[in-house]
Chains A and B, each alone.
Chain A
Amino acid sequence: MSVPQYRKAAALTLVAGLGLGLAACSTKSGDTSGDASGKVTITVDCQPVGAQKELLQNWNADVAEFQRQNPDIVVKSVSVGEQCNNPPDFTARLAGGTVTDVFYGYMTDLQQVLDSGQAMDITEYATTDTIPTWDSVDPALKEVFTDDGKLYAVPVKNYSMGLVYNKVLFQRAGLDVNSPPKTWAEVRDAAKKISALGDGIAGYAEYSAGNTGGWHFTALLYSQGGQVLTADGSRADFNNALGRQVLQNLKDMRYGDDSMGDRQLLQWGDLLTNAGAGKVGMFIGAPDATQAIVSQFQGRFEDWAMGPLPGQDGPAKSTLGGGEGYFFKKDLTPEQVRAGLKWIAYQKLTPGKGQLDYVRAKPQNYPVGLPQPLLFTNGSQAQQQELELRKANANVDTANFANFEANPVPIKGEPRNAQAIYAVLDAVMSGVLTNPNANIDALLRTAEEKVNKLLAAES
């Protein structure tokens, strides 16, 4: 080996190292609760990422406007990735105590946040003083974030699932785009016709990995009138006729008709990628799934429509609902909590502002007119305002969602300990979707055993 070359390499490395060292890059959210000028600083996560250009622009504009209106508050935004709550990263942030002052979480996260000891009781701060529309916010959503009479988070989004379908493929397959399948038998028929188009098109697509399989199993079970856990949450309750029916339906489509495509073990983005490429006829999802298809996966709004969740012999008995909220980190000062609530009120809960600023969103590649976010109580003043604005500025054909809106299905929330249970149920879904000889009874039995053990360990 030639020595001079090594020396050169070492010198290069050293120079590079020194150069980089100067540009040291740590982006910790500071613990600056206030500075000399008496300003209150809060850090907030779930800022959109760079790829979501317009959303990011809107967010930054909102921050600027909010700070202009509240000169004594400084909002520092932190982006935690495309999916604001990717379970392992979220757990890592909780365990590591690196969550921001005001942090995003799913409705199912309350127990985990409490377990981590990072949560703050905000009951006394959440009033119309800090959130002008607070009395209009659906009490059922507040209840979801309440434990032992104490409120820990402010709901900012709420959804329920239905059947999302591709109108173009429906047309090509000779199906009526205005009357989507209402039962699983009809779904099966439609899927068969759509997949007959060939070209790798799946008539109906379903998840089976990364916890999303369990998530959708839950929704399918709800449509049958079943539940994942018993009412007291102590035991698994899916190893029964209803659970078997869910899996039998899937098995029939996957291996009976071969109408679910070749690629399985899909998780969130995989299915939506295929959908964006026009390879998926139907799947179950919330209205904003179409938004992701368009903004992230190169699809088009006009292709997609939505109907209510199908049931076994008629409309679904119930559908899966879920949502998001913002938690508050423990040990914040009262000023910080108030500042955080004001920010959430401005960006998430004020008709005409922030996420509800439909005038701004209309010309952007961002849908207005989806039957979401379902935050306010029916008939409340805020709901009326929001609805009017939404109608006036709709940029997607609301007719595409009329069917979904006109046929509401009772909403059921996610089970406690949802993510851990979903991980177990993934195996049930992958079993029935990847193994032609899958034994449905055995799959459900194993999953039941695992879930019961998991629940026993929790208590």
Chain B
Amino acid sequence: MAPDTGTRTLISQAQLRRGRGRAAYWTLLAVVVVGFTLVFLGPLYWMVTGALKSGQEIAQTPPSLFPQDPQWQNYADAWHNLALAKLLFNTFYYATGAVLFQLVFDTAAAYALSKLRPVLGNVILGMMLATLMIPAMVLIVPQYVTVIDLPILHINLLDSPFAIWLPLVANAFNIFLLKRFFDSIPEDLMAAALMDGATPLRTLWSIVLPMSRPILGVVSIFAVTAVWKDFLWPKLVMPSPETRTVSVGIYAFAGGTPMNVVIAASVIAAIPTVVIFLVFQRNIMSGLTTGGLKG
């Protein structure tokens, strides 16, 4: 793509450089920057400072912009009373495991479907894709009953991290993304490797995977976000306070904890991912925007 045409969007650059267009551009930009800051950062500011206010100050009309008498104790209480360290540890533990399980099993499956193409491969792919249209809520009850008593094995997975990891492997969207990416890897490369006597595993490891880093990054991001965002499933399969995720833990404690402390806990819980996001935002953004999500 030539650089000139590549940057041409809805409105031409030339138009934006001209007098009126230029003024309009800068005005709009200023409005949007200020507006977005208020809309997306404003609530976060409110949350961080709100957790510092006393119960009385919260109920004050009109609300105060800065906490008059910061109650740092609220943050300390939240950290200790909700055992946030444990909740955060659990969440990251589940997220890490989810990434590893999905990378291993989904990549292997997508590779088989794309390059090895065993008999019935298409049927299997079709059956996997069919699950895309089924929201998790439809299956929540039978899935739960299955996890309590796994068929044939009769193992109870409640409170075990596998109850989160294994169902996440059954992710048709990831397999679909990976398979599409593998499809685009030229057949000649594979053939050459095969001629050299490389096993399928070796081909996958030394040819396919090195070329697939962007898509593997995307799948990892999706895996982490899925664990991070999920609520009902971890609430059901991790019933003990020791095994809860951070979202479920905060919710469970909200009923018996003063509101300020709940908000303080919410702030602390958000810090690690926000920091991780800010540090890796370039990779995450470019991964999401270039890695196979094109129209």
Contact B158 A17 (CB under 8 A): no
Contact A49 B239 (CB under 8 A): no
B-facing residues in A202-227 (Cβ within 8 Å)? 210
Closest to A47 in B: B241
Residues of B near A26 (CB, < 8 A) are 159-161, 243
Contact B55 A276 (CB under 8 A): yes
B-facing residues in A249-281 (Cβ within 8 Å)? 267-270, 273, 276-279
Q: Is A16 an interface residue (CB 8 A)?
A: yes
Q: Is A95 an interface residue (CB 8 A)?
A: yes
Q: Which of B81, B214, B236, B255 contacts A268 (CB 8 A)?
A: B255
A2-10, A129-137, A378-386, A400-408: which one contacts chain B?
A2-10
Closest to A90 in B: B239
Q: Which of B82, B236, B259, B283 contacts A1 (CB 8 A)?
A: B283
In the bound complex, CA of A297 to CA of B286 (Å): 46
Q: Can you list, as one digit per residue, whether each of A1-41 has a CB less than 8 Å from chain B (1) or not (0)?
A: 11101110110011011001100111110000000000000
Q: Which of B99, B239, B242, B283 contacts A92 (CB 8 A)?
A: B239
Classify chain B: how many residues form its interface, as a range. 35 or more
In the bound complex, CA of A81 to CA of B96 (Å): 26
Q: Is A83 an interface residue (CB 8 A)?
A: yes
Q: Can you list, as one digit per residue, whether each of A337-374 has a CB less than 8 Å from chain B (1) or not (0)?
A: 00000000000000000000000000000000000000
Contact B148 A96 (CB under 8 A): yes
Residues of A near B83 (CB, < 8 A) are 50
Contact A78 B240 (CB under 8 A): yes
Q: Is A315 an interface residue (CB 8 A)?
A: no
Residues of A near B241 (CB, < 8 A) are 49, 79-81
Q: Can you list, as one digit per residue, whether each of A429-455 has a CB less than 8 Å from chain B (1) or not (0)?
A: 000000000000000000000000000
Q: Is B254 an interface residue (CB 8 A)?
A: yes
Contact A268 B256 (CB under 8 A): yes
Residues of A near B82 (CB, < 8 A) are 51
Given A13-B220, A20-B96, A273-B259, verify A298-B55 contact (CB < 8 Å): yes
Residues of A near B160 (CB, < 8 A) are 26, 28
Closest chain-B Cβ to A421's Cβ sits at a distance in Å of 20
Contact A1 B287 (CB under 8 A): yes
Closest chain-A Cβ to B241's Cβ sits at a distance in Å of 5
Given A50-B83, A83-B256, verify A97-B55 contact (CB < 8 Å): no
Q: Is A230 an interface residue (CB 8 A)?
A: no
Chain B facing A: main interface SS: helix
Contact B257 A20 (CB under 8 A): no
Closest chain-A Cβ to B214's Cβ sits at a distance in Å of 6
Q: Can you list, as one digit per residue, whether each of B143-162 has a CB less than 8 Å from chain A (1) or not (0)?
A: 01100100000001011110
Closest chain-A Cβ to B212's Cβ sits at a distance in Å of 11
Q: Is A199 an interface residue (CB 8 A)?
A: yes
In the bound complex, CA of A6 to CA of B216 (Å): 10
Q: Is A98 an interface residue (CB 8 A)?
A: yes
In the bound complex, CA of A292 to CA of B257 (Å): 10
Closest to A19 in B: B96
Q: Is B8 an interface residue (CB 8 A)?
A: no
Given A49-B241, A298-B258, verify A1-B290 contact (CB < 8 Å): yes
Q: Is A189 an interface residue (CB 8 A)?
A: no
Q: Which of A6, A10, A93 contacts B239 (CB 8 A)?
A: A93
Contact A50 B80 (CB under 8 A): yes
Residues of A near B23 (CB, < 8 A) are none
A-facing residues in B222-280 (Cβ within 8 Å)? 235-236, 239-243, 252-259, 280
Contact A279 B156 (CB under 8 A): no
In the bound complex, CA of A80 to CA of B252 (Å): 10
Q: Which of B100, B148, B235, B257 contacts A269 (CB 8 A)?
A: B257
Q: Is A413 an interface residue (CB 8 A)?
A: no
Residues of A near B252 (CB, < 8 A) are 81-82, 86, 89
Contact A13 B99 (CB under 8 A): yes
In the bound complex, CA of A296 to CA of B262 (Å): 12
Contact B255 A277 (CB under 8 A): no
Q: Is A200 an interface residue (CB 8 A)?
A: yes
In the bound complex, CA of A27 to CA of B90 (Å): 12
Q: Can you list, as one digit per residue, whether each of A297-320 has a CB less than 8 Å from chain B (1) or not (0)?
A: 110000000000000000000000
In the bound complex, CA of A93 to CA of B61 (Å): 44
Residues of B near A298 (CB, < 8 A) are 55, 258
Closest chain-B Cβ to A376's Cβ sits at a distance in Å of 29
Q: Which of A1, A83, A210 contacts B217 (CB 8 A)?
A: A1
Contact B158 A50 (CB under 8 A): no
Q: Is B92 an interface residue (CB 8 A)?
A: yes
Q: Which of B55, B99, B213, B243 contacts A25 (CB 8 A)?
A: B243
Contact A9 B283 (CB under 8 A): yes
Residues of B near A9 (CB, < 8 A) are 217, 280, 283
Which A residues form the contact surface with B (CB < 8 A)? 1-3, 5-7, 9-10, 13-14, 16-17, 20-21, 24-28, 49-51, 78-83, 86, 88-89, 92-93, 95-98, 199-200, 210, 267-270, 273, 276-279, 292, 296-298
Q: Would you mind naming 21 contact pairs between A and B with Cβ atoms under 8 Å apart?
A: A1-B217, A5-B282, A6-B213, A6-B217, A10-B220, A13-B99, A14-B100, A20-B93, A21-B97, A27-B242, A27-B243, A28-B158, A50-B80, A95-B144, A97-B156, A269-B254, A273-B55, A277-B59, A277-B258, A278-B56, A292-B256
Which B residues form the contact surface with A (CB < 8 A)? 55-56, 59, 61, 80-83, 89-90, 92-93, 96-97, 99-100, 144-145, 148, 156, 158-161, 213-214, 216-217, 220, 235-236, 239-243, 252-259, 280, 282-283, 286-287, 290
5 closest Cβ pairs, A-B complex: A277-B55, A51-B81, A82-B256, A17-B96, A27-B242
